[in-house]
Amino acid sequence: MRIVILGGGFGGVNTALKLGKKLKDSNHEIILVAEKPHFLFRPSLPWVIFDERKLDDATLPLDKILQKVGVQFIQKTVIQVLPKNNRVVLQDDTILEYDYLVIATGGLPDFEKTPGLKENTYSCYFEDDTKKTKEQIENIKSGDQILIGASDGNPCTCLSYELLFEMDAYLQKQKINASITYFTYESDLFDYVGNKVSSTLEKLLNEKK
């Protein structure tokens, strides 16, 4: 029996590791397909842009991770899924047949949803964006105005708050006198975790004015 997993992020890798351990001594074949050769630990990227970690510290080679539990790794782009035929078509027209398919490709930020967002802002979602953001931060000087926030529809605003406080600490450490303005589409700060957290966060921000 062949199990094919699409996606090399948290969902795909976690599924592969658990299935690999559980089915290691059986005759099941498990294959993970991903575009990139490594797993990216995105929660570390804010530390990378403030030079608290190196980008290499946030990545792990997928082949070595998966090999330990007997999972095969294929580094290719998926072009098409044919569920009626139990097949996946890869970038070079390779056909990968399966008995069970796990789709764990995750989601992507929609920078185009807000006009001008992609062209005029910096982020740390992708590796290349993280490098550019790090370079921009290194050029900040006293008197600059910094805008940090979460655009409309962002499903997870926690990163923007982390960046806000990381930026504040960075400026103090570097003795840079620059102003920070925070924006969010939320009705209350960090509103999806409850009123208590919102009130505490608002108090912290007011203390830093």
CATH (domain of 15): 3.50.50.60
With bands split at pLDDT 50, 70 and 90, how would you rate the model's confidence at 153?
A: low
pTM above the 0.75 mark? Answer: yes
Tell me the average pLDDT across 166-187. 92
Q: What is the mean pLDDT of the chain?
A: 91
Average pLDDT over residues 54-77: 96
Residue 194 has pLDDT above 80, yes or no: no
Same domain, yes or no: 167 and 99: no
Mean pLDDT, residues 95-116: 90
Residues 134 and 91 in one domain: no
Asked whether the predicted pLDDT for residue 188 surpasses 90, the reply is: no
Containing structural domain, residue 178? 111-207
Is residue 140 domain-shared with residue 185, that is, in the same domain? yes
Same domain, 69 and 145: no
Domain C-terminal end among 55, 76, 103: 103
Last residue within a domain, chosen from 52, 78, 103? 103
15, pLDDT greater than 90: yes
- Do 58 and 30 share a structural domain? yes
Q: Do 35 and 83 share a domain, yes or no?
A: yes
pLDDT at 152 > cutoff 80: no
| pLDDT score of 176 | 97
User: CA-to-CA distance for 18 and 151, rounded, in angstroms?
Assistant: 35
Give me the amino acid identity at 59.
T
Do 97 and 122 lie in a common domain?
no
Tell me what pLDDT residue 71 has: 97
The number of distinct structural domains making up the chain is 2
Residue 76 and residue 119 in one domain: no
Lowest mean pLDDT among 7-16, 31-40, 168-177, 180-189: 180-189
pLDDT at 201: 83
Is 45 in the same domain as 125?
A: no
Q: Could you say which of 49, 81, 103 is where a domain stops?
A: 103
Lowest mean pLDDT among 58-72, 89-103, 140-154: 140-154
Specify the pLDDT at position 88: 98
